[in-house]
Amino acid sequence: MTFTTPLTMTSPLRSPAQMLAEQSYDGHLSIHDGETADTLGLTGAPIEAPTHFSQFDPFGFALWGDDWFSSGCISAHFSTMVVEGEEVRAEVVHSGGNQAQISAQKTDGSRVLSGTISVDPHPQTALEARLASQGDPGELFIVDQLSVGMTSAPDHPVTMDMTTSNGSSYPFSLAQKLESITEHSPWYEDNNNPWGRPIVPKEMFSVLTNKVGNGFAIRGPALGLFLDLEVRCLGTPVFVDNEYLISREVVGLSQSRRVESYWVRTTLTDAGSGEPAASVLLHSGVFKESYAKYPKDKLPS
């Protein structure tokens, strides 16, 4: 057996399942519906971006053991949308220490995502660096009511059990997700793990934190998507059937040719102990052309 530095690990090809075809928010369907995706010239209804995170769990566990589930962090920028039926391969390059570089590609070589995985103590993550590089967003017309430092209303309690649907934004249960998850573990369903209770997969952290509205004023109706996502455990896994309190802060505003966007950091705090359990850094984009009142002279040609 030959070992090389850096160590490169690749996953089998996986075909992630589309579970958001019936997703709705603000009274309308999302880009995960095929006909709605067509209105924006997309090639199909994209898979929910965090679905790809599960392909990195075996690598995180191989590198850092149980620490991956108690302090692990996935930090990724999404480059290309994936539609149901397409296959994705994940890759990790580890040069030592508490962090590794990650990427995922389709069979045609197009990059789906890139970023970092790490455990505590974390070096600067991919999204921490990306957020720090953001400049002045310029004139905004959709997320213009937001400002950096703005916080959400008082903490909202949230829980994820096995059988309850996660609302109109995520119209499926954890049990349904586990039937199609790309990398399954019995630790998600039974007590036979180091913590003695089922844990929530990292790809479901954003589902848990978005079960209730974020309370921030975004003009619409308009269609959105995930641009960047970081999920991080803060010393403990997130547990099934456990109550958490949600708090949010706007930490950045941006725009590109087709979207206006905003960065929100959400903290999940254990309602019983009062200790932070996880954080989710989400960079959400809103398509300019999907907002009917967007100034026509400001739309991309």
Tens of pLDDT, residue by residue over 82-114, are: 988 899 999 999 999 999 999 999 999 999 999
Burial class of residue 260 in the structure, from the number of CB atoms within 10 Å of its CB (0-12 exposed, 13-18 middle, 19+ buried): buried
- Quick: pLDDT tens for 217-226: 999 888 888 9
Least confident of 137-151, 153-167, 193-207: 153-167
Residue 2 binned pLDDT confidence (cut-offs 50, 70, 90):
very low
Task: In whole angstroms, give the CA distance from residue 226 to residue 286.
Answer: 9
Which CATH fold topology does 7-298 show? Thiol Ester Dehydrase; Chain A (3.10.129)
pLDDT at 156: 84
φ/ψ (deg, to 5) at 12 = -65, 160
Residue 73 binned pLDDT confidence (cut-offs 50, 70, 90):
very high
Residues 6+ apart with CB under 8 A from 43: 81, 83
Tokens of 39: 């209105």
The β-bridge partners of 54 are: none
Q: Collapsing DSSP states into helix, strand and coil, what is residue 218?
A: coil
pLDDT at 27: 52
